């Protein structure tokens, strides 16, 4: 998953995006302007983790109903502050304004339904859903998706 920060120049809302994969195959993707204005990159990413976690749980439930048992979903995050905010139950003075509806991620981590893993931004396949990519980066994004699908 990924988010840009205040990418919409008229509203200053951020865009959330994620790519769901089963094994090495992309199965669904998402890109949408966030419903509120984030005041930092970490907050924009936190909102994006929340959206991705909700979709992941839905996906996990569908697969479990099909007797494909999934214990947890791993979400790749390229922002260490976001991972910290998700994994720590204490309220940081810098993040106490974040709406409670987004703090459900903490419960999902505690219940071992999702796990967050840090990845470098340059390796984040969701970038193509949240940011403008020049020709070189777009080629890398496209080729990475196609390479993952063919493994």
Architecture of domain 2-145: 2-Layer Sandwich (3.30)
Give which of 69, 75, 21, 85 is closest to 52, Cα–Cα.
75
pTM given for the model: 0.80
pLDDT band at 149 (very low <50, low <70, confident <90, very high): low
For residue range 52-105, what is the model confidence (pLDDT) as tens digits? 999 999 999 999 999 999 999 999 999 998 998 888 866 666 666 666 666 788
Higher local confidence (pLDDT), 147 or 138: 138
pLDDT value, residue 120: 92
CA 43 vs CA 113, 130, 147: distances in Å: 22, 15, 31
pLDDT value, residue 65: 94
DSSP 68: -
Can you read off the two tokens belonging to residue 34?
């966030």
Can you read off the two tokens belonging to residue 9?
């120049």
Give which of 64, 40, 32, 25 is closest to 146, Cα–Cα.
25
Give which of 35, 37, 73, 51 is closest to 2, Cα–Cα.
51
């Amino acid at each position: 998953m990924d988010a840009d920060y205040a990418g919409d120049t008229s509203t200053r809302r951020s865009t959330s995006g994620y790519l769901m994969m089963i094994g090495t195959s992309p199965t669904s993707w998402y890109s949408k302007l966030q419903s509120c204005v984030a005041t930092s990159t970490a907050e924009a990413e936190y909102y994006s983790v929340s959206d991705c976690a909700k979709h992941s749980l839905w996906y996990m439930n569908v697969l479990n109903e099909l007797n494909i048992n999934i214990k947890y979903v791993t979400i790749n995050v390229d922002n260490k502050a976001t991972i910290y905010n998700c994994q720590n139950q204490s309220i940081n003075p810098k993040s106490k304004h974040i709406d409670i509806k987004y703090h459900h991620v903490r419960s999902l981590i505690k219940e071992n339904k999702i796990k967050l893993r840090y990845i470098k931004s340059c390796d984040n396949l969701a970038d193509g859903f949240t940011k403008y990519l020049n020709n070189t980066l777009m080629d890398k994004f496209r080729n990475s998706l196609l390479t993952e699908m063919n493994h």
